[in-house]
Structures are given as structure tokens and as C-alpha cells.
Amino acid sequence: RTGSPGDGTSCNACHNATAGVAPVVGIIGLPSTYALGQSYSLTVTVSTNSTRRTPGFEITAERGDNDAPLNQPVGTWTAGANSAIVGDSIAHSNANQTILFWNFTWKAPAANVGKIRFTAAGVISRANLNPASDDRTTIRTPPLVNAPILPVITTVSPAFGSVGEPVTLTGTGFQATIATVNFQAGAATAPVTSWTNTQIVAKATGSAAVSDVGVVTTGGTSVTKPFDLIVLAPAISSTTP
């Protein structure tokens, strides 16, 4: 285990030499902020001046600093060479390996969960089947916070249409959760047919002949794009009597 608040225990419970050269544990590729749903290529390194040359590691990511539920594991791990997913963590997969670094991927959660902290543990083993003689270190990162990504509309297709007709918005930063599309300031929210991080299909709404379309997400409000709303004049089709 890593020794994180959520784990409770660490590799120190077994690998617990009281004397020796503690390894230096590093995490490469960790951002200062995280974007929702973004994948990050990470590397954990374990280095030492000790003659004990059988290394290992484990790392986990948890909610931190009073963001309830505190210490809940967050994100998704994808193992790389010589690593494996262990519960809510990722760790070395071969206890007899001699490599000192491991590459893998962590994907941030799709929803903002507040601050996230990573805890990594590194071990240098004597490989003598006596873990009590192994050297170990645990590190915990400063908290990462979510960096809001503003939605950006790049194209609107078609560029004109009447109320109720589908309009496709292409862009970035729409996120995975349906939010709000407006074709006019003060107009009713447009009904959404489909929504992805890069494309939205919504039905045109409004009452003015000239309109702009914008998107509002948890990351903020986009710059609007022109859209010409066709407003049909009322017509009498029949009279009775």
C-alpha cells in the first residue's frame, strides 16, 4: 500500500528496515492542475545509492484537503510495461525486476471533484525474502485543482434556420455533461439532441430575426457565434365560417 490517508497502511508495514539508504521517489509528468477527463502520461522513478537493487512502487490518487468524501480514490489508471492495477492504485508487476522507472497513464475524473493528491511509495528490496530488511520511502504531492476549460465554438452549421430546426455546434471544451445552449440572450434554453466534448446538436430557439448562439458549461461561457434565426410571418390558411 502507498500510505495515503485512504490506504491507511503503507509498504512500510512489511518493508520496514530501521537502517539503510532510503530510496528517492519521483513522479514525472504530473500537472499542476487537471482538466476534466484528460489523460496524463506519468512516470514513477525509484533511485537509491544502496546496493539493494530490486525496486518496486505503488501510487494512488485521492480527493484531498477537506473535499468530501475525503480520501476517496479518483481517476482511472491504465497500466504500462511492468506495472499493474492493484485495487484503486497502480504498482510494479514483477517483484524481481531491476528497472528503476515505470510509465503508465492516469485519466482525470469527468466531473470536478475538488482537490486531488497523489501518494507514491517506493521500495528497494534486498531480494533475500526478508522484507523487514528493505528500504522504503513514501511521498505525497501538493493538491491539484481543476483548471476550468472554457467552451469554444468553432463552427455553426447551418448558419441560419427556423425555430425547432437542428443546429450543429462544433468546437472544444463542451465537456461530457450536457449544459446549456442559448440562441438569444434571455431566450429559453435550446433543447439538446446530442452532446459530446467536441460537438453539440441543439434545436434553434428565439424570436428575433438575427441571433447569436452560445454555450455555457461548468467551465464558463463561450464567445458567441452568429446564427440567423428565420422568423416566419404569421399566415392565415383558412377562415371559418
Residue-wise pLDDT for 76-105, tens only, equals 999 998 899 999 999 988 766 677 889 999
Selected residue with higher pLDDT from 73 and 100: 73
Q: Is 14 left (phi over 0), alpha (psi -120 to 50) or beta?
A: alpha
Residues 6 or more apart whose Cβ sits within 8 Å of residue 45:
24, 25, 26, 27, 28, 100, 101
CA gap 40, 126 in Å, rounded: 32
Residue 166 grid cell: 437542428
Please state the pTM of the whole predicted model.
0.63
CA gap 52, 105 in Å, rounded: 28
| Max Cα–Cα distance, the chain, nearest Å | 104
Q: Are 90 and 103 contacting, i.e. CB atoms less than 8 angstroms apart?
A: no
Q: Are 181 and 169 contacting, i.e. CB atoms less than 8 angstroms apart?
A: yes
Residue 179 grid cell: 449544459
Residue 11 is given by DSSP the state: G
Cis geometry, peptide bond prior to residue 241 (ω within 30 degrees of 0): yes
pLDDT-derived band at 230, boundaries 50, 70, 90: confident
pLDDT digits (tens, 9 = 90+) for 12-22: 555 555 455 67
pLDDT digits (tens, 9 = 90+) for 128-142: 555 555 677 788 888
Radius of gyration of the chain (CA): 27
